[in-house]
Chain A
Amino acid sequence: KAGVTQTPRYLIKTRGQQVTLSCSPISGHRSVSWYQQTPGQGLQFLFEYFSETQRNKGNFPGRFSGRQFSNSRSEMNVSTLELGDSALYLCASSLSGAEETQYFGPGTRLLVL
């Protein structure tokens, strides 16, 4: 089976812009979770989607949003980018959620200038 893929791998944006990141889970996986990783805060949970429904949301401002499509692919969007949004964004998929092994993609590295 193909692994979790994320696009794009690298992205440079300027403050105030918006960005959309994409995650394609392993075939058959219905749960997709997103994490933000920074040197200072470590891995912070953003949200989890299961069967097109947001099941959990972390403590991030409303500028961070996401969605999941019927084929389980997921996108996350960050509007009005700030310098502090520079991070590695990781998505993980699993069959049904946090009770199982999570399979991570390689991440999207976002740099906000």
Chain B
Amino acid sequence: SQQGEEDPQALSIQEGENATMNCSYKTSINNLQWYRQNSGRGLVHLILIRSNEREKHSGRLRVTLDTSKKSSSLLITASRAADTASYFCATWWGGNTPLVFGKGTRLSVIA
């Protein structure tokens, strides 16, 4: 399969702690995107990082991309109960190819 794989599959932390999720992929990509999904609803875009970028920030979110290791990580700092959701990475290889999603990491933030 060409899809990215998130690790861990599930993560449970206390409010205020940081959460780190990883995504690995097998084929060189053009961009990688992270999305959040709350309880069976639609996905919400978090960050898009291109293959020539190494790090991007958005509020409490930090995404890194290591193309030599074919991996990305999503860091959520100072987690809140409202961050409880599933987080997906999606990869795009360029050209006329689709955006392919991994199976996600389920994050539980306990108040």
**Interface contact A104-B92, CB-CB below 8 Å:** no
Residues of A within 8 A of B100 (CB): 45
Q: Are B101 and A107 in contact (CB under 8 A)?
A: no
Q: Please, how many residues of chain B have a CB less than 8 angstroms from a CB on the other chain?
A: 25
A104 touches B98 (CB 8 A): no
Cα(A62)–Cα(B90), bound, Å: 25
Across the interface, which residues of B come within 8 angstroms of A111, CB to CB? none
- Max chain A Cβ within 10 angstroms of own Cβ: one of B31, B42, B101: B42
Chain A proximity mask over B24-68: 1 for CB below 8 Å, otherwise 0: 000000110101000011111100100000000000000000000
Query: Contact: B42 with A55, CB < 8 Å?
Result: no
Q: Which of A45, A55, A88, A102 contacts B40 (CB 8 A)?
A: A88
> B87 contacts the other chain (Cβ, under 8 Å)?
no
The reply to whether A107 and B33 form a contact with Cβ atoms under 8 Å apart is: no
Encode contact with B along A90-113: 1 for CB under 8 Å, 0 otherwise. 101000001111111111010000
Interface pair A4/B96, CB less than 8 Å apart: no
CB contact under 8 A between A98 and B45, given known A33-B98, A58-B98: no
Within 8 Å by CB of A101, from B41, B42, B48, B97, lies B48
Chain A: residues with Cβ within 8 Å of the partner, total of 24
Nearest-neighbor residue (CB-CB) of B45 within chain A: A101
B103 adjacent to chain A (CB < 8 Å): yes
Residues B42 and A105 in contact, CB atoms below 8 Å apart: yes
Top-10 shortest CB links A-B: A42-B103, A104-B42, A43-B101, A98-B99, A104-B43, A98-B92, A56-B98, A101-B45, A106-B42, A45-B98
8 residue pairs bridging A and B, Cβ less than 8 Å apart: A4-B42, A33-B99, A43-B104, A45-B98, A56-B96, A101-B33, A104-B44, A106-B41
